[in-house]
Every structure is written in C-alpha cells, then in structure tokens.
Structure 1
Amino acid sequence: MPTQESSDLASGTSIVLVFLALLVLLALIRGIRVVPQSEKFVVERFGRLRAVLSPGLNLIVPFLDRVAHRVSILERQLPTSKLDAITSDNVLVSVDTSVFYRIVEPEKTVYRIRDIDAAIATTVAGIVRSEIGRMELDHVQSNRAQLIAAVKAQLADQVDDWGIEVTRAEILDVNLDEATRAAMLQQLNAERARRALVTEAEGRKRAVELQADADLYAAEQQAKARRIAADAEAYATAVVAEAIGRNGIEAAQYQVALKQVEALQALGQGEGQRVIVVPASALEAFGDAFRFFGGGGRA
C-alpha cells in the first residue's frame, strides 16, 4: 500500500515534468520565427546585432535572441515635396519631386539612420537645388529626363550607407512665378512674330527667285524656237538653192508659179462672186511654169 511520502514524490515528479514540457514548448515557440515574404527581421542578442532573418522559416536561440526590428522590404514612396531652386540665369522655380525606394539591408537602415524618410527628402532637396543651379531655365524645362537621371544617380551614391535602393526619382512639375510667366509669354509672342516675318520674307524671296527662273526659262525656250526656225529656213533655202543649181532658173520660176496658183485657188474658194484681176506678168509666169512642167522630162 503506497505511503504518503511516495504519493508526494509522484506528485512532485508530475509537476516537474509538466513544467519541463511547458518550458520546452515555450522554447520552441520563442525559437521558431516565420518571416513574411514582404519583411525581414533583425535579431539581437544582448542588445547586439545577431542576424537578419530572411522570409520563410527561421530558428533562433530562445531566451537569448530576440527580434528587435521587423522591417518591410516593400517599395516605398516619399510624399511629394515642393522645393524652391534658382537656375543659373537667376530664375526662381518651384519643383515638385517624388522618390521611390526600398530597404535592401535592414541592419544598416535601423542602426545608421533614425528617420529614413526625412533623411532622403533632405538629400533630394540638396541634389535638386544643386543640379538646377547649373542649368538655365530653358534647359530645365526641355531636359527634365536628364535632370531626373542626375538626381537619381547622385541620390543612389549618397544613400548607399543607409542600406536602401533608390528605384525611381521623379520631377513632377516645374512651376514659375507670375512675373516670370508673363515675361516668358511676352518673349514667346515676340519670337512668334519674328518667325512670321522671317517666313513672309523668305516667301517673297522665293517668289522672286521662281519668277526669275520662269522668265529665264521662257527666254531660253523662245531663243530655242527662233534657232529652230532659222535652221528650218536655212535648210529650205539650201534646198531651193540646190534645186536651182541642179535644174536652173526654170525650177525657181515653177515654184513661184505654184505659189501664185495656190493663192488664186484660195481667193476663188471664198463665199460670193468675185472678179479676180490677174496681171499679165502672172499669166506669163503660168505659161513658163506649164512649159517647164511639160518639158521637164526633156530637160
């Protein structure tokens, strides 16, 4: 039959076992860490950096190690900030900027900088003012992509020690004061008027050049026509001269007589009745022509 002492011993053993089981369970709970995909855990041991836990299942030493910082590694956007800057031609502009970044090394971010957003905003302001100070206003407005690339490159170099990566830097808008806007509008209107005058002058000049070309072309064509007519007349004269040389003066008289006959036929074909007076010399020419025609075979 169990004694009172053995009963107390068994009860004490059970309590110890339960305590050990609870201790083991607590150790497992504290030693296992499941890190979400969008976060990283910074683990400290006695207040000192021990490890950085990546997403997934991780084990740490219970009661010695603790998760001191839970850091999101998602991309972040700084609030849009408005900065005043002065260009190299002494124009005051207001620039709206925005920066996107993400933390890639949490151990640097949590131990080297207190307010990461404020630090980045201050750095961006200094870089933007410095870059705009090297540019004229027209260059700032027309080469915004170049300005953005310069800001991003310099910002990436300066924030490297903070364990972050600058994914994008944007210059959203460049605003001017009213006086500068009015001056630029006046300058723009003057430039438009100047271009209109230049275009009109160039048009008149081109019209004069085209008219001169047209007159020259017309003169060249007329000279060419006269040259062709002269060549044709010279050729006809040469043919007549050759015929006279070959057939004698009778050939020339025959040609004259044919022309006169053609003229008389044209007069006779008109409307109404007409009396045609033919000189005696013409009749003699006709007779010579017919004699020549009739005796041409015997010449």
Structure 2
Amino acid sequence: MPESFGSLITIAIFVVILITIFTSFVSVKQGTIVVITVFGKYRRILTPGLNFKIPFIENIYSKISIQNRSVELEFQAVTYDQANVYFKAMLLYSVLDQQEETIKNVAFKFVDERNLMQALIRTVEGSIRAFVATKRQSEVLILRRDIVEHVKEQLDVILEGWGYHLQDLQLNDITFDEVIMKSMSQVVASNNLKAAAENEGQALLITKTKAAEAEGNAIKISAQAEREAAQLRGQGIALFREEVARGMTVAAKEMAEANMDTSVILFTMWTESIKHFSENSKGNVIFLDGSTDQMQHTLKEMMALNLLHTDNVKK
C-alpha cells in the first residue's frame, strides 16, 4: 500500500512538472501581440515567436492583432435642407504601432472588441452626420472626398487615444430618397438637353457663318471676275472700234485717190448692219423706213459721223 501511494505521488509530481514546462512557454503567431498580467495587473507584452512566462503567476490577458481590420457601415444623415442621405461605407483601421504604451491602450481602453466596434462606428457616423448637416443636398455628391478628409481628420485624434489608426474610409454608395433621386435625374436630363440645344445652336451658328462667308467670297470672286470680264469686253470693243475706224480711214483714202464717193462705205456698213440684225436677232420682223428721203437722211448722218471720226483721227 505505501508503495502504491508513493507511485501515485511520483506520477502526480511528474504530471505537474510537465504542465509547468508546457505552460512556461507561449508561442505567439505573426501579426499578434500577447498582453501578460500578474494577478490582474499589467506586466508585459509578448512579441511573435516562442516566449517564456512564469507559470501559474503570469497570465495571458488578451491577444491583440496588429493586422489591418475592416468593417462595413450603413447609416443615414440629414442635409441642411432636410434631405435624407443614405451612406454605405467601408472602414479600414489597425493598431497604431507595436509600442508598449499603444498596446496597453488597445488592451485596456475597452471592455471587449464589441464595445470598441460600437464606439468606432458611432464616432464615424457622428462625424459624417455633423459634416453633412452643414451642406445642401445638391452638394453632397460632389463633396465625397471632402467628407472622407473631414472624418479622417476628426477620427485620427480620437483613435490614437485608443491605440488605433484610421487607414482608409471609402464611401461606396451615397443615395437619397426616391423622390429626390427622380428630381435629380430630371435636373440632369434637363441640363443635358439644355447643353445639347446650346451645342446645336453653336453648331448652327458656325454653319450659317461659314455659309455666309463662303457666299460672300463667292460673290466677291464673281464680282471680280465680272469686272475683269467687263474690262476685257470694253478693251475688245475699243480695239474693234479702233480697227473699224482704221479700216474705214484706209478705205476712204483709197476711194478718194480713185475719185470714188466715200458714202458707198457708209451704205455698205448700213446694209451689213441690217444683215447682222436679221441673222442674229430673235424677232421675226425688222421695221425699216425704205423711202428715198429716209435713205438719204441716214446716209447723211453716217457721212457726218465718218467726217467727225476722220477729223478726230487726224488730230
């Protein structure tokens, strides 16, 4: 009996030694910090790897992850002009650093993780609501970046006191009541129509302006061409008259030398003119006074014109 009792004591001592050995070493995972307390009071922290602790005296109070953590938020805010705004956001945060004082804040500021999350979410929501309450509904959508910067500025100071740091805040969705969304869509549609009408008006103005410029240039070119053509026609007529006068002068001189009446030239010109009229005119009838008196009157006029032209040539 005494031998059996001694064996049990030996076994019990061996078991206690094993338990003591196993509880003296703590393996801490990467990205985790372990907080050690002694009789409920903070003692020290254990970093990743294999660590030694005093068995039965030092206890593991908490294991704190220093990795990034995220949480999704959904909440409502009211603008300055009493419009309801609905936010969907994603919050990314982490432990500020691995300093001992920081880890102590993380471990002992809140009772548990649930209370931390509640305080964090309410702080973010309150900061955004306070900012949105000073803005009008039409300004909220274009102030997304300003809202994020405002929240980070306000939240960083608070979170540092808790031992945390706000990595990022993303406002993934910002919506309004259905009535407001419809009115905003109508405003956008009307603005688009207005812009389209203005663009169309500008395009039409440009088209009309270009057409007017082209028409003006065409008129200028046509007028220039007509002027040049008129000048050429005038020069041609002048040359024609000059040649006719020169030819009549030569013919009259030759007929005078031959003792012939020069009025025959005028008569010939008169008959050629009548022939030209009959061949090129569009009418069917040419009215002529064929009386002897009229013929003599016409010949006299032609002879007078010939004499006048001859005097001008001699001068």
TM-score (norm 1): 0.65
Conserved 8 A contact 1:43-1:66: yes
> 2 CA distance for matches of 1:253 and 1:81?
117
Alignment partner, residue 85 of structure 2: 93
Alignment partner, residue 34 of structure 1: 27
**How far did 1:15 drift?**
9.3
Superposition map of 1:255-294 within 5 A: none
Superposition map of 1:63-212 within 5 A: 63-78=56-71, 80-104=72-96, 105-114=102-111, 115-212=115-212
**Paired residue total:** 242
Task: For structure 1, list consecutive stretches of 5 or more residues without a partner in the other structure.
Answer: 1-6, 255-259, 261-266, 268-299
> 1 CA distance for matches of 2:249 and 2:54?
138
> 1 CA distance for matches of 2:191 and 2:69?
44
**How far did 1:97 drift?**
2.1
> 1 CA distance for matches of 2:45 and 2:121?
27
Partner SS, residue 192 of structure 2: helix
> 1 CA distance for matches of 2:248 and 2:53?
135
Conserved 8 A contact 2:79-2:136: yes
Conserved 8 A contact 1:76-1:101: yes
Task: For structure 2, list consecutive stretches of 5 or more residues without a partner in the other structure.
Answer: 97-101, 252-271, 273-278, 280-315
**Cα RMSD after superposing both structures:** 3.8
Conserved 8 A contact 1:109-1:116: no
From the superposition, tell whether residues 251 and 153 of structure 1 become closer, same or farther in structure 2 (CA, over 3 Å): farther
Conserved 8 A contact 1:85-1:129: yes
**How far did 1:228 drift?**
3.9
CA-to-partner distance for each residue in 1:27-64, whole Å, 9 max, x for gaps? 43332111111422100123221111111011223333
Partner SS, residue 198 of structure 2: helix
> 2 CA distance for matches of 1:237 and 1:221?
24
Alignment partner, residue 216 of structure 2: 216
Conserved 8 A contact 2:36-2:61: yes
Alignment partner, residue 52 of structure 1: 45
Q: Aligned letter for 1:156?
A: D
